[in-house]
Amino acid sequence: MERGELCRKYAAFMSGQKEFSEARSIVFNNGFGDIWLIQESVYKNLAHILHAIPQSPIGFKFIVQIPTEYREMQLPRGWELTTNGFGNPKFISKEFTIDYIPLNNINSIQRRGLNPSIESYLTGTSLTVDSIAFNVLTQQVVGEIGIRAIFDRSVGVNDDVEAEIEASKKGKTVEQYLQERARDLRFRAVMG
């Protein structure tokens, strides 16, 4: 399958999920500019489409270019607003959660002193499969490193410092963290 076809299938796959439609609506009501879906909902579902691995559990993480202030956020009935471990808003329902990540509050961008952009985010993810995002407005998948990793069925370190941070949060070495992610995807781990 070629990249364009994979991206079209992914957009159709996500549009067919009622939970994604609800999550997208909540985030659109609480932010402006570009909005990107990131992490498992992207890489794991792309791997599901391309390689028939199990699809991602329901839960969404969005990067929001221009966030609404926390105190002005609007919640649908049945939803609760809290904060995640990074101090970012987290929407919780009985069915699933939404992590709401302001683009200007991403650790790897701040650590490296970069201007907030999706490109800066993609170069600072811990692992190669994380270096991918789905622009919810344009329906485009971006992130050459992540796309290549999914086609190659590989997981490698994308940013050494972020990989170390993520691994230590889980009480693992970078190699253990990498191996675990690769095993979960049925991909090969690439060290170095």
pTM equals 0.94
The residues near 26 (Cβ < 8 Å, ≥ 6 apart) are 75, 76, 79, 91, 98
CA 160, CA 184: separation in Å to the nearest integer? 21
Structural domains in the chain, sorted by start:
3-144 (3.30.460.10)
Amino acid identity of residue 166, one-letter, is E
Residue type, 147: I
pLDDT per residue as tens digits for the range 160-174: 999 999 999 999 999
Q: What is the pLDDT of residues 39-91, one digit of tens each?
A: 999 999 999 999 999 888 889 999 999 999 888 999 999 999 999 888 899 99
43, two tokens: 């890489």
Tokens of residue 46, six digits? 């792309």
Q: What is the mean pLDDT of the segment spanning 20-35?
A: 95
